[in-house]
Amino acid sequence: MSEIRRDIIIGRSIIIASNRAKRPKNFKNKDEIKGSNDCPFCNGFREDILLEVIDQNPSSIEGKNSWRVRVVDNKFPTLKSTGKLTEYNHGFFQKMNGIGQAEVLIESMKHNSSLGSNSLDHTIGIITALKLRYEQLAKDNRLKYIQIFKNFGAKAGASLEHPHWQIIGIPIVPLMVKEELEGVNKYYKQHHNCVYCDMIRYELADNQRVIKENEFFIAINPYASRYPFETWIIPRTHQHNFSDISKKEINALAIILRDMIKSFEVGFKDLSYNILLRTAPLALKNQQGYHWHLQILPRLNIQAGFELATAIFVNPVPPELATEELKGIGII
């Protein structure tokens, strides 16, 4: 059973996942990733399906059970779904039990598929499935935040090679989300406008960091990029929650997301990356402050002592140069 411990000084939360405890000698020194041998996602956890997107025209894979996207329970959940959320004093410290929901979206039947080479319909299926699961988990009133993300490649912390996303419902609002909300609200009070909306306007006019735009979305390398080639995909309409996305917008997001990832796949060799959904906490559903977006974080360098100590990232690639290079790849 995992537990959520609170750092008494900064107030940050740490999940102690003792069900995965390892002794010193059991830590391997190579980046571990499970390949195609006995890949659990290739057979798609048939017995345990929460949601399925069926492919009407399976061209390359035979059999009547073919599917495009499946969402299943995470077999090694960071947080467990059963039980009542309880906070404890633990001597000098505080903790709560590790209640939550952990699901996996299997992106394709094919082990070697990629987000950049899927059909548009397939990508629409992925985003729609993520939205449906988000809405489902949002009904669990023990949860305060739902984090959707994708780890791709060993350097991005993926433990399985087969392309997948994760959906984790957590019983607290993460400190990082709180900080972002504070910043957004502070800006709103000063300028009577959403900082993301204003930033979109500025970036479109300045045109130095805009990689791609369509009717509903804009892809930029943010001004204060933490990672080389860090990319944000932001809806042009002010929406605080990912689940506000319309059908038309899902189509537009599918195009821009697929083309961005394809650019990374073509421009870089064996790139590991994370995709993070940034969205408002569940309890803020009806507030105006936040503006959801996706962050693509290429994992090209390692965070060393300076970054860990200060949280000041050192980025060797100015975002203006990143935009030029990403456009130069010729996909978008």
What letter would DSSP give residue 31?
P
Complex with its own copies: residue 140 or 325, whichever CB lies closer: 325
Query: Residue 58 CB, nearest distance to its own copies (Å)?
Result: 29
> Which residues inside 64-103 make contact with its own copies, applying CB under 8 A?
78, 90-93
| Residues contributing to the annotated binding site | 39, 42, 111, 162
Active-site choice (122, 164, 291, 293)? 164
What gap in Å lies between CA 22 and CA 51, rounded to an integer? 33
Query: Residue 229 CB, nearest distance to its own copies (Å)?
Result: 7
> Annotated catalytic, 164?
yes
Which backbone phi and psi does 21 adopt, to 5 degrees?
-55, 140
One of 104, 250, 275, 282 touching its own copies (CB under 8 A): 275
One of 27, 57, 62, 89 touching its own copies (CB under 8 A): 27
Which tokens hold the place of 137? 């988990």
Q: Is residue 25 a contact residue for its own copies (CB under 8 A)?
A: yes
What gap in Å lies between CA 219 and CA 230, rounded to an integer? 10
Q: Is residue 188 a contact residue for its own copies (CB under 8 A)?
A: no
Rg over alpha carbons for the chain, rounded to the nearest Å, is: 20
Tell me the three state secondary structure of residue 147.
Answer: strand
Q: Is residue 16 a contact residue for its own copies (CB under 8 A)?
A: yes
As a residue count, the chain comes to: 332
Contact in structure between 33 and 19 (CB atoms under 8 Å): no
One of 177, 257, 280, 282 touching its own copies (CB under 8 A): 177
Q: H or E stretch including 165?
A: strand 164-170
Residue span 107-146 as binding mask against its own copies, x where in contact by CB under 8 A, dash where not: --------------------------------------x-
One of 50, 237, 259, 313 touching its own copies (CB under 8 A): 313
Residue 329 burial class via C-beta count within 10 angstroms: exposed 0-12, middle 13-18, buried 19 and up? middle
How many chain residues bind its own copies (CB under 8 A)?
A: 100
Complex with its own copies: residue 44 or 228, whichever CB lies closer: 228
What letter would DSSP give residue 34?
B
Output the CA torsion sign for 133, 128, 72, 161. Answer: negative
Q: Is residue 14 a contact residue for its own copies (CB under 8 A)?
A: yes
> Which residues inside 219-258 make contact with its own copies, applying CB under 8 A?
222-226, 228-229
Output the CA torsion sign for 213, 214, 215, 216. Answer: negative
- Which amino acids are annotated catalytic? 164
